[in-house]
Amino acid sequence: MVTHTFYKYQGAGNDFVVIDNRNGLFDSGNVDLVEHLCDRRFGIGADGLMLLQDVADHDFEMVYFNADGRQGSMCGNGGRCIVAFARDLKIIDREADFLAVDGVHHAQVHGQAGWISLQMNDVDLIEQDGDAYILNTGSPHYVKLVSKNTLVNFAVVEEGRKIRYSHAYRDGGINVNFVEVDGDGYHLRTYERGVEDETLACGTGATAAALAVAWHNGVDGVFQTPIRVQGGNLTIRFVKEGMRFTRVFLEGPATFVFKGEIAW
């Protein structure tokens, strides 16, 4: 076995193992290895694992894996954390353009400690499944509004798992979000596919929730929506014009936790 360096970052409680793979040596096809590193009892422990890699024409490439070891779709909080990692490696200063599985993303590092804005893709399609909203913000999301003051005791894992493994979604999987009004913003709890559990935050889920609520309310304009998640607070900024959402930004904290070594 060989000893390898890893880094741990978290964004509003959504935590990630991050590896500098600019040398290209990490075996990204080793599902068992990634799953082991994300295991909270036998490995390092994380909601996902990310590789930072060199890529032509951009500052870096982000390759994201779910905790089940499989390469995943876009992770918003992971995107903000890997930007913080790139800054700490001095690859970037205050701005970044990086390649992810869903295309190129622009990000800004703000003066406020650990606060990073990540531009997400435009969204021009929201569908309905009963009283829930279905949309893709880099990852597929199911968003359901619940009554105020019910989310604190809501059975997120039980209800989320039912939807995620229902006939309609079990093959491709879907992230399941439950949202309630919370002061001037919203409270969000998310069951994530790939983790197959509730996470303390989900960046693409917070983005989906903010857009779905604006769609539900039927009002156009420029929005700045506070989203409270179990691990902290996020802000979603966007412009809604009819059926189209543009200038979509996910904003929130991205924090270095620790650096370590592990052998495999």
Exactly one of 18, 163, 202, 211 is catalytic; which is it? 202
Q: Which of 17, 34, 46, 75 is catalytic?
A: 75
Reading the block at residue 251, the tokens are 């904003």
Per DSSP, the residues of the chain read --EEEEEEEEETTEEEEEEE-TT--S-TT-HHHHHHHH-TTTSS--SEEEEEE--TTSSEEEEEEETTSSB-S--HHHHHHHHHHHHHTTS-SSEEEEEETTEEEEEEE-SSTTEEEEEPPPB---EEETTEEEEESSSEEEEEE--TT-GGG--HHHHHHHHHTSTTTTTT--EEEEEEEETTEEEEEEEETTTTEEES--HHHHHHHHHHHHHHHT--EEEEEEEEETTEEEEEEEEEETTEEEEEEEEEE-EEEEEEEEE-
202 is catalytic: yes
> Which residues are identified as catalytic?
75, 202
